[in-house]
A = this chain, B = another copy of it.
Amino acid sequence: MSRAPFEYRTVDLTDEEYAADQAVYGGLTTALRRLGEISLLTTVGHDVVADATRQIEEITARLEAEVIPTPNFGVVVTKSRHVRGYGNAVVGMRNPVAPPLTIVQDLVKGGASAEFFLNALYEGPPGKVHGGVLALVLDQIFGEAAAAGGTPGMTGTLTLRYRKPTALGACSASAWVASTAGIKTIVKGELRDADGEVTVEAEGLFILPRWAREQIAESGETPPQYE
């Protein structure tokens, strides 16, 4: 039997209990996202910056007193066997790097979509979103589209066609299952700027890995649902 390349960390909490606990930490993350953006834009004097830096180091020291002792940082399984990804780099409520996206899954048609705002932290060319950031958000939305279509999997290939630069600001993206064949699912999708113009088209192949199929066959259970 193939070995799973990772294990989920389990917590002895219901979905509701875990969400309530994480929401407190989520407030810290929201404040940090705003500070991150302002830290990039500020032109205040060097003394003010040095003072802020010292204060930030002090806050870090206090938060560092107790930390998660595992290499599986932000993904857990709750009592109800739901996967909660509050550390995820795109959607994580507790991850200051994540914009974060709120992705809406369409379980009927098999798809996923999101409306989001990309600020100065996501810049590549002047005033434009970094092309790689668009790949980052599309990869996450595509994975959730595959799962919504009933055929979850890991990204096998992802192809992005950049039609024009995307202005920083409001964006939206949608993805849908185009076809499935056994363990393989093809997802297609697109990203639009604030004017509704398509700026990126993409296609992805998602594959349910052998270890996951063997886990399902052995336990008779579907894997924990990442939702």
Chain A residues proximal to chain B, CB less than 8 Å: 5-9, 24-25, 27-29, 31-32, 34-36, 38-44, 46, 48-50, 52-53, 55-57, 59-60, 62-68, 71-75, 87-90, 92, 94-97, 120-128, 130-133, 135-140, 143, 154-162, 164-165, 168
Contacts and interface: CB of A to CB of B under 8 A. Distances in A.
Given A66-B43, A71-B127, A126-B7, A132 B136 contact: yes
A46 B23 CA distance: 10
A68 B8 CA distance: 43
A222 B66 CA distance: 53
Contact of A121 (B9, B95, B155): B95
Contacts of A159: 157-160
A143 to B, nearest CB: 8
A156 to B, nearest CB: 6
Contacts of A126: 6-9, 72-73, 75
Nearest to A21: B46
